[in-house]
Structure 1
Amino acid sequence: MLELEHIQKAFDGVPVLKDLSLQVEDGEIVSILGPSGCGKTTLLNIILGIVDADQGEIRYSGEDLTRTPMEKRGFNIVFQDYALFPNLNVQQNITYGLRNKPGISSREEVDELIDLLGLREHLGKRIDQLSGGQKQRVALARTLVMKPRILLLDEPLSALDGVIKESIKDRIKTIAREYHLTTIIVTHDPEEALTLSDRVLIIDQGSISQYARPDEIVHQPRNDFVRKFILRQLEIKRGNIYALFGDRPQLAGEAV
């Protein structure tokens, strides 16, 4: 279990995260959702260890990680731009981290990941020969061979659309289930969060507006911010969402 208690962070005296506490269960997929500037990327960076919290505690399986440096936390991230090495082919990118830690994943485990992510036919290709979805799968494989305790994803679907986007969503869910891998995703897209996650954390101006299962958020939004942010942004995608969660709830002030 990942536990955050009373996390606070400010930049140049401006509060970004305000007394934020939550728990993420082992093997759970959690999306951090909110508008630009709400603090979701700062929270991801604090969990990863890139940024230190001003106040509060971070624990994983009871171990205090608040002041533990990033390289010793055992958490790995896939960045929005993939951060692949253009001078290496797909196979070399996937196994790059194993150069320094060759015992983490066996050859069989690497092959299993390559097949799970559908990358076998692309192993000899250069990165500039890949589509956006293929690059995302390579970035996932490169991270997963290092066997992270927690997988962090920064806007993993933002550059994708259509069938490719749905395929990557399915692969992320499959990986989380098969490897029982706690996965935390930052996104600005309510549809992504609601269809990908076990629970969704909605942040507004550095505070938690709601932290709940997707069906609870759709049918029992805690406040007007959640109602407006979720429901109004989903109007253009209502077919996908309401097929899963049922009829659209009413916004405050709307006629029934």
Structure 2
Amino acid sequence: MLKLQNISKQFDSKVVLNDISLEINTGEIVSLLGQSGSGKTTLLNIILGLTTMNTGKIIFNDIDMSQVEMKNRGFNIVFQDYALFPNLNAYQNIVYGLKNKKGLVTEEELNEYIEFLELKPHLTKKIGELSGGQKQRVALARTLVMKPKILLLDEPLSALDGVIKESIKERIKLIAREYKLTTIIVTHDPEEALTLSDKILIINQGEISQFGTPQEIINKPSNDFVKEFILKQLHIKKQNIYNLFGEEND
């Protein structure tokens, strides 16, 4: 279990996060959803250890990780731009992080990740030869071979569309289930969050507007901001969402 306790962050005089507290269970997919500048990416970076917080605690499996360096937390991220090495082929990118982690995965486990993400036909291709969906799968494989305790994804679907986007969405769900891997996703897209996540944290101006299941957020929005953001501001048709989750909330 991951617990965030009273996390606050300030850059100079600007408060970016204010008293964020929540609990995420093992194997859950949780989306951090909000507008640009809401604080969601800052919160992801605080969990990763890339950004320090002003106040609060991060507790993982009853261990206080608040002062633990990023490299020792065991939380791994797939960045929005994938951050792959263009001079290396897909296989070399996947195993790159294992150079200094001898014995972390067996050959059998490595092949399992490659098969699971359907990358075998693409292993010798350079990154420039891969489609967006294939690059995303290579980035996921590179992260999975490091055996992360928590998987962090920064806008994982933003560069994808159509069938490829739906395919990667299903793959993320499968990864969370297959490996019981707690997964935290930053997104600005309500429809993406609603169809991908077990729970959603909606952040508005650095504060929690609502934390709950997609059904709770659709059927019982906690305030006007949630209702406006989910149903109007990003132009999601009400009926599409109600078809997914049932009961309409007037």
Q: TM-score, normalised by structure 1?
A: 0.95
Aligned AA (1:62): D
Q: What is the deviation of 1:242?
A: 2.5
Secondary structure class of the residue paired with 2:38: coil
Q: Retained in 2: the 8 A contact 1:44–1:152?
A: yes
Q: Retained in 2: the 8 A contact 1:5–1:56?
A: yes
Q: What is the deviation of 1:21?
A: 0.5
Change (3 A) 1:147 1:237: farther
Counterparts of residues 89-168 of structure 1 (less than 5 Å): 89-168=89-168
**RMSD, aligned α-carbons:** 1.1
Aligned AA (2:90): V
Which residue of structure 1 aligns with residue 16 of structure 2? 16
Unaligned runs of 5+ in 1: 251-256
Q: What is the deviation of 1:105?
A: 1.1
Q: Aligned partners of 1:234 and 1:85: how far apart in 2?
A: 34
Q: Retained in 2: the 8 A contact 1:191–1:234?
A: no
Q: Aligned partners of 1:196 and 1:233: how far apart in 2?
A: 20
Counterparts of residues 161-240 of structure 1 (less than 5 Å): 161-233=161-233, 235-238=235-238, 240=240
Q: What is the deviation of 1:118?
A: 1.0
* Aligned length, in residue pairs: 250
Q: What is the deviation of 1:239?
A: 5.5
After superposition, give the CA deviation of every residue in 1:24-60 in whole Å (9 maximum; x if it has no partner). 1111100000001000000000000001100011110
Aligned AA (1:61): N
Which residue of structure 2 aligns with residue 69 of structure 1? 69
Aligned AA (1:112): E
Q: Aligned partners of 1:10 and 1:130: how far apart in 2?
A: 40
Secondary structure class of the residue paired with 1:95: helix
Q: What is the deviation of 1:243?
A: 2.1
Change (3 A) 1:237 1:111: farther
Q: What is the deviation of 1:231?
A: 1.1
Q: Retained in 2: the 8 A contact 1:47–1:58?
A: yes
Which residue of structure 1 aligns with residue 28 of structure 2? 28
Q: Retained in 1: the 8 A contact 2:191–2:236?
A: no
Secondary structure class of the residue paired with 2:9: strand
Which residue of structure 2 aligns with residue 79 of structure 1? 79
Change (3 A) 1:66 1:236: closer
Q: Aligned partners of 2:117 and 2:226: how far apart in 1?
A: 34
Aligned AA (2:110): V
Q: Percent identity?
A: 66
Q: Aligned partners of 2:161 and 2:248: how far apart in 1?
A: 24
Q: What is the deviation of 1:126?
A: 0.3
Which residue of structure 1 aligns with residue 44 of structure 2? 44
Q: TM-score, normalised by structure 2?
A: 0.97
Secondary structure class of the residue paired with 2:27: coil
Q: What is the deviation of 1:246?
A: 2.2
